[in-house]
Amino acid sequence: MIASMKPHHPKPINGKSNHAHHAGCDNRVVLYSHDTMGLGHLRRNLLIASVLAGPPMYANVLIISGAREACHFAVTAGIDCVTLPAVQKDADGFYSGKHLRWTCCQTTLLRSKIIASTINAFKPQLFIVDKVPRGFAGELDEALHSIREAGTTRCILGLREILDDPATAIRQWIESDAEQTIKDFYDEVWIYGDRNVYDSVRQYAFQPGTADRSIYTGYLDQRRRSSCNIDERIKPPHHSMALCLIGGGQDGMQLASTFARTQMPTGWKGVLLTGPYLPEADRVWLRHALADRTDCDLVEGLVEADDYIAHADKVVSMAGYNTITSILSFEKPALVVPRVAPRREQWIRAKRLSEYGCLTTLEPDSLTPEAIRNWIARSDVPKPTGRAIDLGGLDCIVDRVKHWLPETRFHLNSSEVSVV
């Protein structure tokens, strides 16, 4: 547990540079995501990083991540990354090194040293931490103390709008000393959601010190991620496209196998994206199941799912944050089958947005090929609209960064560029 200390007050930041790509602009931002499972945290941070690296900020942005895939996505995002030794969780819920034959404690200690050294060398003006105030297993403790001693870096905690059911989330925050950590080390808390959809501050009973620091940014518009030249071959010719998404894939086989057994309605073509973490045995099963099908294609590997969502006529998916915000951003009719364990986050998100008339929610126990086929064939399914949900999160983030770096010069007249 981190000892209680007075909040830090960073020294003025002058924003001067001798080597910035844009004269007078040397904004340095670090974003951290622990990424012990899946790609959700990384993808959210990469989208934010891409926006900060473009106009008007042109920041030098560094991602610190526990996912090797960070390097793949960072190449086209105009940013750089530091990849931490990976950790994994076994069937009993215990963590260890994923590639190193080390204990969790050994791996975390190494990760902690890498993070602290990176922060000390890069000297960011802004440090944005995703979800976990102290990082995985407290691995940010050393870096946070160093940041406060230096007094030149603002610290931001970024939270998806729904963490878990309130009782579980509150218990975990108490166990990790999260609110005291926020009080001691963080200047602001960004909640990447719409308060009207889910009031995180109230649901999770944030203490006044945390509530006063909290800003609802709105959801993050995923259209800002899409490439400028989307491959038109993604769209099946002469067919409507029903796209199935299972996120990273590590827990999506129930949905994937059901979709693979679904006979598409006349005039429809199914496309199933597996995700990079789908176990190999499941990949083999899906390849065999779809080998002779002409109405459904299997797409494997690390692909940009948003490019497929942009072309889809309907989407069948789980209810992870990035997938749902993409559905909202591209205004696609969606049948959502949320994960209900070990976290209730997806179920709560799907239920709330279903109540808003933005999508159709199907309980996992009711998932069948017939249910999917019947929904695809229907013409009267809910569809999100931009007027229903606040999608201005990325613009709000840029405004908040300007607030915290008031002496930095921005390039307001620069032409817009695409982000990934």
Model confidence at 376, pLDDT cuts 50, 70, 90, reads very high
Report pLDDT for 326: 95
Report pLDDT for 334: 98
Average pLDDT of span 357-362? 96
Average pLDDT of span 352-373? 96
User: CATH assignment of 28-220+392-404?
Assistant: 3.40.50.2000
Model confidence at 90, pLDDT cuts 50, 70, 90, reads low
The pTM (predicted TM-score) of the whole model is: 0.87
Reduce the DSSP state of residue 103 to 3 states and report it: strand
- Does 233-377 match 28-220+392-404 at the fold level? yes
Cα 277 from chain centroid (whole Å): 16
Report pLDDT for 303: 77
Q: Are 28 and 37 in contact (CB under 8 A)?
A: no
Model confidence at 135, pLDDT cuts 50, 70, 90, reads very high
- Provide long-range contacts, Cβ within 8 A and 24+ apart, for 344-351: 344/164, 344/165, 344/168, 345/160, 345/162, 345/163, 345/164, 346/318, 346/319, 346/320, 347/319, 348/162, 348/165, 348/198, 349/161, 349/162, 349/198, 349/319, 349/321, 349/324, 350/319, 350/324
Report pLDDT for 419: 37
- pLDDT exceeds cutoff 60 at 413: no
- pLDDT exceeds cutoff 90 at 184: yes
Which residue ranges make up each domain of the chain? 28-220+392-404, 233-377
Q: Which CATH class is domain 233-377?
A: alpha beta
291-335 pLDDT, tens digit each:
999 999 999 977 789 989 999 999 999 999 999 999 999 999 999
206-222 pLDDT, tens digit each:
999 999 999 999 999 99
- Listing DSSP states for 325-389 in one string gives HHHHHTT--EEE----SS-SHHHHHHHHHHHTTS-EE--GGG--HHHHHHHHH-S------TTTS
- Strand bridging mode 334-336 / 314-317: parallel
- Whole-number percent of the chain with pLDDT over 90: 67
247-275 pLDDT, tens digit each:
888 889 999 999 999 999 999 999 999 98
- pLDDT exceeds cutoff 60 at 46: yes
- pLDDT exceeds cutoff 60 at 5: no
The tokens describing 12, both together, are 């003025």
